[in-house]
Amino acid sequence: MGRYFAIRIGRAALTIVLVVTFAFVVLRLSGDPALMILGPEAPPEVLAAFRKAWGLDDPIWFQYLDYFGAIAKGELGRSMRDGRPAIELVLERIPATLALTLPAFAFKVALGIPAGIYAALHRGSGIDRAVMMTAVAGFTVPSFVLALLLVLIFAVQLGWLPSGGQDSWRHAILPIVTLSLGGAAVLARFTRSAMLEVLGQPYIRTASAKGVPWRKVVTSHALPNAAIPTVTILGFMVGTLIAGAVVVESVFSWPGVGRLLVVAVANRDLAVVQCILLLVAMTMVTSNLIVDFLYGFLDPRLRAKGAHA
Amino acid sequence: MAPLISIKDLSVGFQGVPVLRGVDLTLQKGEAVGLVGESGSGKSVTWLAALGLLPRHANVSGSVRLDGREILGAPASELDQVRGGRVAMIFQDPASALNPVLTIRRQLCEALALHRDLSGQTVKAEARRLLDLVGIPDAARRLEAYPHEFSGGQVQRIMIAMALAGNPDLLVADEPTTALDATIQAQILELLSTIRREMDMAMVLISHDLGVVAENCDRVAVMYAGRIVEAAPANQLFADPLHPYAQGLIGSLPPLDGPRRRLTAIPGTVPDPASMPDGCAFAPRCTLAAAPCGLAAPTLVAIANDRAVACIRAEASRRALLGVAAE
Amino acid sequence: MSAPLVEVSSISRSYGMRAGMFGRSMAVHAVDGVSLAIRKGETLGLVGESGSGKSTTGRIVLGLEPPDRGEVRFGGKPMAMPGTPAWRAQRAQMQMIFQDPLGALDRRLPVATQIREPLDIHGLGEPAGREERVRELLRAVELTPAHGGRYPGALSGGQRQRIVLARALATKPDFLVCDEPVSALDVSIQAQVVNLLADLQAQLGLTLLFISHDLRVVRQISNVVAVMYLGRIVELGSADDLFARPEHPYTQALVSASPAPGRRSAGRIVLAGDPPNPAARPQGCAFHPRCPHAIARCGSEVPALSAVGGDRQVACHLVTGPQAETRDAA
């Protein structure tokens, strides 16, 4: 079991290193931070001084090693715009993002999973078709389109809700709804197909043949099996809690991590961008580890393999 | 004697395609009846339909009476009492017949809790006794194991234990040994026959294997294209089959001793349920078919005590058989 | 008596296998010292349960995988190195038929195209004559040229197996390995295919290695039968004689386990224990834990396959050893 997780954790660490390296290279190849931050009219001496101050005139591999050395010491760099530690900037935005993504996650689960189960149990019925059509619409419509549509209806036409900002809980409603609908649609479809797959298995027939009432066949035989694939998609959704709201935050001017990222990228504020990416990679990787662990918990076949070690 | 179960004119269609076309079958208490036929002949569907185990979109009609009481279309709560309680069923594929994420104890005790008035520790003790009964060694410890920790033969034993949990009057075994190796098949068949004797339980053995059915059943019904074409005591059916299809099946089986002969294969293939021939479904493959065979489907007619055949050429077929035998 | 077309001398093959996801890798002896000879125009039946190594033996004989030890000779010559022109020429003379015809065929191509394929690959005959050859092959397996235009999905199981057979015969092979060719078919269709195989063998002088778990089918088609248990041949003899008078306790149990119409199960030998597991091969005779007659020696010493009179060979201490008489007396 230990070896199993050692391998997983090693792989996770490698993933993080690759993500950070990729971000590092792409950001440095795609524009000069000095020009971006100081503007094209800045005098050459100022630009040179800026580059020197941030180590931008060093060779790229030197910057790269320097960067990893700093991470090893727990230093994630400072923003080139205001000189504050990048991690501080990011951390203070996280609550705002979670204020959107956590409720949205809860809604996705509360909406998507029951809808998927219901659709599977009533396969081919009008409700199944309605759920599936909504689901397809839900994840084919891009979130910015959906966001604008909701703003158009509820803010512009009806005037019930504000179209942007972060002044009260009412401001959070439209962003949360936007985030929930797409995810709920994905979950509903996924849960439905997992359920259908399980309901077709011989052990479901065995349970019915034993005289288990259908409701109990579903709850104690089908659901635990359908949970195994569904956990994968849930894990992915947990991984997007920190940075899954980039588009929605931008549309609704919500001051979360996503908007910080957009601004930082536009400015080539390298330390901030890298700090966010590191954080995102870490949440993704952690949620994957949790999923692996849950598999072992849900599926005795995997657990047994671990026990042999 | 009142029959234990009596099936009358049972028909099943899926989206307008008939797969079962009027099956009549009665079973006495304690009797072992075999159901043979090729894939698609409707032998499994008969019992899945009788117990209400077919998907909702299946179109089922006819009558299934258990101790005189109609169970076809009975309310779910009543059917749940019948299933596992009066009539238990085991299936072919042991690898996927048990729920992979639940322990054997949970699955066995579930059946016990549903059909027996037991509680607490007695449930577990009974579960242990059942595992012992079907020959799973070290039952107490093995109760906590999961299905994947058992071999195919052992899973089939556990399925039998689970079927016995409700003290059923009838066990329907649907190809119980088809997926198992020969020596394991012999073990399971022996276990089934021992248990049946000890518990005085009726059994329906569904199999494509004539030998398996012949050895383990008192009476055999041969199915073809959704109908029973011949029903007879096992020894008589194999010594003197009347329906040309039954003759063909027996002739198709290579002998294990004596001189080798060319197999008398049945030409052609089973008809597509979506485009059944008019009249007798077997006529296009039948060497004895005559013009009237294509007109109307023959009904199952009693021709002697305990024998019935659905063939207007049965007499000719019998003569043909005797002719061959006299050579 | 003609010389053997196929000679297999003590081939062995083991696989690395992990016990679970974290277990140490261990060797599983799938085939362990198997020797066989198949005479031209004859059929050797190979029977055994799952894990007996019969399919692996078939694959090695056909050169689909190399043996770790031992040698396969075809027409008196050793198998050529895989990939060489000599190997390709040899392979065209030997073909294989599997249990699942649908898996062996490409669902997206009409079956006639698939029968023609080996002709194109091996450049057999004039391209113009190949269409006629395909029709001829279809007729040989008792199908019509009309069947050739269909896709595998539009044919029945028995018809698909005929198509596979037609394709195998396209290169005019001398030798066919049939691995459970009729196991997936219904009894009446099984009989059709068995009859067809026998007819084709008689017409074309084919040599067959026929692998099956079904004793009846094997007896029907074989001249010689070899019984395998956990990678070894435990008994070998002429088909009728072997099934009428099995000597090895395992063969006896197998024959006795085969259900027969008109016989009740009384007197059947029912073996105790689970089916053999190649990953945990018992010491000594691999069959001894399930053997009703096992003696101390069986647990320590592997019995060799030795001649016991006639053309029978048995690997059992009780049949060939000094204890043989005591068992008869008992």
Per-residue pLDDT tens for C270-321?
Answer: 888 777 788 888 889 999 999 999 999 999 999 999 998 888 999 999 988 7
- Tokens 């995988």 belong to C65
Q: Distances from the Cα of A143 to the Cαs of A171, A173, A236, A247, C20, in angstroms?
A: 17, 15, 17, 7, 44
Rg of chain B over Cα atoms, rounded to whole angstroms, equals 21
Per-residue pLDDT tens for B54-69?
Answer: 988 899 999 999 999 9
B309 located within any domain: yes
Regarding whether B244 and B186 lie in a shared domain, the answer is no
Residue to test with chain C: of B252, B264, B270, most C Cβ within 10 A: B252
Does residue C24 register a pLDDT over 70?
A: no
Tell the burial category of A146 from Cβ atoms under 10 Å away from its Cβ (0-12, 13-18, 19+).
buried
Q: Which of B207, B222, B237 is the last residue of a domain?
A: B222
Provide the 10 A C-beta neighbour count for residue C286.
26
All residues at 6 or more sequence positions from B26 whose CB lies less than 8 Å from its CB, including other chains? B3, B5, B6, B7
Regarding whether B81 and B206 lie in a shared domain, the answer is yes
All residues at 6 or more sequence positions from A26 whose CB lies less than 8 Å from its CB, including other chains? none
Regarding whether B125 and B25 lie in a shared domain, the answer is yes
Chain C residues whose beta carbon lies within 8 Å of the beta carbon of residue B263? 191, 194-195, 220
B touches which chains (3+ CB pairs under 8 A)?
A: A, C
B13 located within any domain: yes
Domain limits of chain C?
Answer: 4-93+173-329, 102-172
In chain C, whose CA is at the least distance from the CA of B259? C240
B64 located within any domain: yes
Residue C142 identity (one-letter amino acid): E
Give me the pLDDT at residue C328, please: 46
B327 located within any domain: no
Give me the pLDDT at residue C17, please: 67
Give me the pLDDT at residue C327, please: 46
| A285–chain C nearest CA distance, Å | 22
- Partner-chain contact A210 B102, CB within 8 Å: no
Chain B residues whose beta carbon lies within 8 Å of the beta carbon of residue C194? 254, 263, 265
Distance CA C61, CA C94 (A): 10
CATH number for the region C4-93+173-329 comes to 3.40.50.300
Per-residue pLDDT tens for B247-297?
Answer: 999 888 888 888 888 888 898 888 888 888 888 999 999 988 888 888 888
Regarding whether B191 and B209 lie in a shared domain, the answer is yes
* Six-digit token string for B4: 């234990």
Regarding whether B293 and B169 lie in a shared domain, the answer is no
Give me the pLDDT at residue A113, please: 93
- Tell me if residue A99 falls in helix, strand or coil: helix
Q: H or E element: which one contains C9?
A: strand C4-18
Instruction: Give C120-160 as a 3 state SS string.
Output: HHCCCCCHHHHHHHHHHHHHHCCCCHHHHCCCHHHCCHHHH
Chain B residues whose beta carbon lies within 8 Å of the beta carbon of residue C215? 182, 256
> What's CA A110's distance to the chain center, in Å?
18
Does residue B322 register a pLDDT over 50?
A: yes
Residue C273, sorted as left (phi over 0), alpha (psi -120 to 50) or beta, turns out to be: left
Regarding whether B281 and B155 lie in a shared domain, the answer is no
Does residue A25 register a pLDDT over 50?
A: yes
Does residue C329 register a pLDDT over 50?
A: no
* Six-digit token string for B147: 């299905």
Distance CA A44, CA B2 (A): 107
Task: Give percent above pLDDT 70 in chain C.
Answer: 92
Counted residue by residue, chain A has a size of 309
Choice between C258 and B48, residue whose per-residue pLDDT is larger:
B48
Q: Which of B189, B222, B255 is the last residue of a domain?
A: B222
Going by DSSP bridges, is the β-strand pair B170-174/B87-90 parallel, antiparallel, or unpaired?
Answer: parallel
* Six-digit token string for A97: 């993002």
Q: Which of B163, B187, B222 is the last residue of a domain?
A: B222
The answer to whether residues A238 and A187 touch, using CB atoms and an 8 Å cutoff, is: no
* Six-digit token string for B199: 């518990």
Per-residue pLDDT tens for C37-70?
Answer: 999 999 999 999 888 999 999 999 988 888 999 9
- Partner-chain contact A213 B80, CB within 8 Å: yes
Q: Distances from the Cα of A145 to the Cαs of A152, A182, A242, B160, in angstroms?
A: 10, 11, 22, 58
Q: Phi first, then psi: what are they for B31, rounded to 5°?
A: -85, 150
Regarding whether B230 and B215 lie in a shared domain, the answer is no
Regarding whether B188 and B236 lie in a shared domain, the answer is no
pLDDT band at C179 (very low <50, low <70, confident <90, very high): very high
pLDDT band at C25 (very low <50, low <70, confident <90, very high): low
Reported for C60-66, long-range contacts at CB under 8 A and 24+ positions apart, including other chains, are: C60/C8, C60/C11, C60/C13, C60/C31, C61/C6, C61/C8, C61/C36, C61/C177, C61/C209, C62/C94, C62/C96, C62/C177, C63/C87, C63/C90, C63/C91, C63/C94, C64/C96, C65/C13
Regarding whether B198 and B110 lie in a shared domain, the answer is yes
Regarding whether B245 and B191 lie in a shared domain, the answer is no
Does residue B95 register a pLDDT over 90?
A: no
* Range from A240-244, B145-149, C18-22, C219-223 carrying the lowest mean pLDDT: C18-22
Does residue A274 register a pLDDT over 60?
A: yes
Chain A residues whose beta carbon lies within 8 Å of the beta carbon of residue C21? 4, 302, 305-306, 308-309
B36 located within any domain: yes
Give me the pLDDT at residue C199, please: 93
Chain C residues whose beta carbon lies within 8 Å of the beta carbon of residue B271? none
Rg of chain C over Cα atoms, rounded to whole angstroms, equals 21
Regarding whether B188 and B104 lie in a shared domain, the answer is yes
Give me the pLDDT at residue A291, please: 87
Regarding whether B145 and B266 lie in a shared domain, the answer is no
- The closest CB to that of A207, out of B57, B99, B166, belongs to B99
| B174–chain C nearest CA distance, Å | 16
| C288–chain B nearest CA distance, Å | 15
* Six-digit token string for A206: 């065995």
| C118–chain A nearest CA distance, Å | 39
Distance CA B113, CA B204 (A): 25
User: What domain range is B73 assigned to?
Assistant: 5-222
How many domains are contained in chain B?
Answer: 2
Going by DSSP bridges, is the β-strand pair C94-97/C175-179 parallel, antiparallel, or unpaired?
Answer: parallel
Distance CA A297, CA B153 (A): 27
User: Which range in A190-199, B263-272, C121-130, C252-261 is most confidently predicted, on average pLDDT?
Assistant: A190-199
Q: pTM value?
A: 0.86
Does residue B327 register a pLDDT over 50?
A: no
Give me the pLDDT at residue B203, please: 96
| B246–chain C nearest CA distance, Å | 10
Does residue B107 register a pLDDT over 80?
A: yes
Give me the pLDDT at residue C323, please: 53
- Partner-chain contact A309 C22, CB within 8 Å: yes
Does residue C330 register a pLDDT over 60?
A: no
Distance CA B220, CA B222 (A): 6
Does residue C326 register a pLDDT over 50?
A: no
pLDDT band at A167 (very low <50, low <70, confident <90, very high): confident
